[in-house]
Amino acid sequence: MKHRELRASLIETALRMNALGLNQGRAGNLSVRVAGGFLITPSGMAYDAMRPSDIVEMKADGAVTGRRAPSSEWRIHLDIYAARDEAGAVVHAHPMFATTLACTGRPIPAFHYMVAVAGGRDIRCAPYATFGTRKLSVNALRALADRKACLLANHGIIALGTGLAEALDLACEVETLAAQYWRVLQIGKPRILPAKEMARVLKKFEGYGLPSVRLREAGLPSVRLRPAAHSLRATGREAGRASAPAKPRKPRKPRKT
C-alpha cells in the first residue's frame, strides 16, 4: 500500500480535529497532497473506524484509487491543489462558532490583529452552494483568493497549510477568532482595525517564527538586541576597579608648635 505513513497521519489528524471540538461525528474531511494528486478521507465513514487502506487516493485528473468512495467534497480539494501550489493539506470542518457566523453569511473582520493569520485583513465567507457541487468549489476558491482560510455560508470552514499539522492549527485559530468575534457581538459593535494597521501586521507575520538567517533571505528585518549602557565589559571594569586594593596613605608629619 502506497503512502502508508501519510494515510495514518490523515486519520490521526481527523481524530484530533474531532477531539479538539472543531468537528463532530462523520462531518468534515481532510486531504494531503502526494505526487500526482492527493489522499483524502472516504465518504460517510467514522474517523475512529478508519484504517489506512480506507483512505482514497485521487489523481490530479480526478481518477480514484481505493476501495472506498472519496469524500463528497473531493472537488473542493481537487480544485484547491490545482490552483494553489503552496497548499500541501486541506482541512474542512464544521466548528461551532465559525459555522454559527457562516450561517449568517458574516465574514470575520479585523476586530483582532490575529485575523491576519489567515493571510488577509479579513476571513471571507463564501456564498452558499449545495455541498459537493462545482458551484461550492468555485465559491470557496474565490473566498480563498490571497487567503489561507475561509468560511462557507451555512456550512463550515476550510483551512489550508503546507502540511496537515499547519492546516489543522489554522482551523483552530479561525475557530478561536470566530468564538471571540461572536462574544464581541453580544456586547456591542466591535472596533475594527484600520487597513493600514492590518497591512503592518501582515508584513510582520511574513517573518513570524523564522530564524534571523531566513529573515535576511526574505529581505525582512531581524531583531538585534543592543547591549545596555552598563555592558558586561563595562561592569567588569568597574568591578575590577572596585575590588582593587587601596594604596596605603603616607603618614602625615606632625605640626610644629
pLDDT digits (tens, 9 = 90+) for 50-109: 999 999 999 999 999 989 999 999 999 999 999 999 999 999 999 999 999 999 999 999
Residue 223 half-sphere exposure, CB side, CA atoms within 13 Å? 7
169: exposed, middle or buried (Cβ count in 10 Å: 0-12, 13-18, 19+): middle
List beta partners, residue 161: 89
Q: Please tell me the predicted confidence (pLDDT) of residue 68.
A: 96
Catalytic residue among 57, 73, 173, 175: 73
Helix (H, G, I), strand (E, B) or coil at 178: helix
Residue 202 half-sphere exposure, CB side, CA atoms within 13 Å? 18
Q: Please tell me the predicted confidence (pLDDT) of residue 23.
A: 95
C-alpha cell at 173: 485559530
Q: Please tell me the predicted confidence (pLDDT) of residue 225.
A: 42
C-alpha cell at 11: 486519520
Can you tell me the distance from the alpha carbon of 161 to that of 90, in angstroms, rounded to the nearest whole number?
7
Give the alpha-carbon dihedral of 148, 125, 106, 179, to 10 degrees. -40
Can you tell me the distance from the alpha carbon of 92 to that of 27, in angstroms, rounded to the nearest whole number?
9
pLDDT tens-digit readout, 173-212 = 999 999 999 999 999 999 999 999 999 999 999 877 656 5
Q: Please tell me the predicted confidence (pLDDT) of residue 227.
A: 45
In what order do the strands lie in the sheet containing 29-34? Answer: 64-65, 56-59, 37-40, 29-34, 89-93, 156-161, 149-152, 125-126
State yes or no: is 86 an active-site residue: no
pLDDT tens-digit readout, 211-250 = 654 545 545 554 444 444 444 344 444 444 444 555 555 5
pLDDT tens-digit readout, 135-181 = 999 999 999 999 999 999 999 999 999 999 999 999 999 999 999 99
Q: What is the CA radius of gyration of the chain?
A: 28
Q: What is the mean pLDDT of residues 28-39?
A: 97
Can you tell me the distance from the alpha carbon of 113 to that of 53, in angstroms, rounded to the nearest whole number?
42
Q: Please tell me the predicted confidence (pLDDT) of residue 217.
A: 53
Can you tell me the distance from the alpha carbon of 205 to that of 185, in angstroms, rounded to the nearest whole number?
26
Q: Please tell me the predicted confidence (pLDDT) of residue 207.
A: 72
What amino acid occupies position 129? A
- Domains delineated in the chain: 4-197 (3.40.225.10)
